[in-house]
Amino acid sequence: MHPLLFFHCCPVLGASNAIGFGDLKSPAGLQVLNDYLADKSYIEGYMPPQADMAVFEAVSGPQPANLYHALRSYNHIKSYEKEKASLPGVKIALGKYGPANVEDTTGSGATDSKDDDDIDLFGSDDEEESEEAKRLREERFAQYESKKAKKPALVAKSSILLGVKPWDNETDMAKLEECVRSIQADGLVWGSSKLVPVGYGIKKLQIQRIVEDDKVGTDMLEERITAFEDYVKSMDVAAFNKI
DSSP-assigned letters across all residues of 202-216: EEEEEEEEEEETTT-
Give the model's confidence band at 23: pLDDT under 50 very low, under 70 low, under 90 confident, else very high.
confident
Helix axes 50-58, 68-78, angle to 10 degrees: 110
Q: Write the CATH number for 181.
A: 3.30.70.60
Q: How many structural domains is the chain composed of?
A: 2
pLDDT tens, residue by residue, 39-66: 777 777 666 667 777 777 777 778 787 8
Boundary (domain end) residue, out of 96, 115, 146: 96
Residue 115 included in any domain: no
pLDDT tens, residue by residue, 92-110: 666 666 666 566 666 544 4
Boundary (domain end) residue, out of 44, 75, 96: 96
What is the rounded CA–CA span in Å between residue 15 and residue 22? 16
Q: 92 and 161: one domain?
A: no
pTM, two decimal places: 0.39
Boundary (domain end) residue, out of 96, 111, 129: 96
Residue 50 included in any domain: yes
Residue 167 included in any domain: yes
- Distant-in-sequence, close-in-space partners of 95: CB < 8 Å, separation ≥ 6: 19, 20, 103, 104
Residue 152 included in any domain: no
Residue 127 included in any domain: no
Q: Which among 27-41, 46-60, 209-223 has the top mean pLDDT?
A: 209-223
Residue 197 included in any domain: yes
Residue 130 included in any domain: no
Q: Closest Cα to residue 99, out of 49, 46, 55, 50?
A: 55
Q: Closest Cα to residue 91, out of 48, 29, 49, 31?
A: 49
The DSSP call for residue 200 is: T
pLDDT tens, residue by residue, 150-196: 766 677 899 999 999 999 999 999 999 999 999 999 999 999 999 99
What is the rounded CA–CA span in Å between residue 225 and residue 179? 8
Structural domain of 45: 27-96
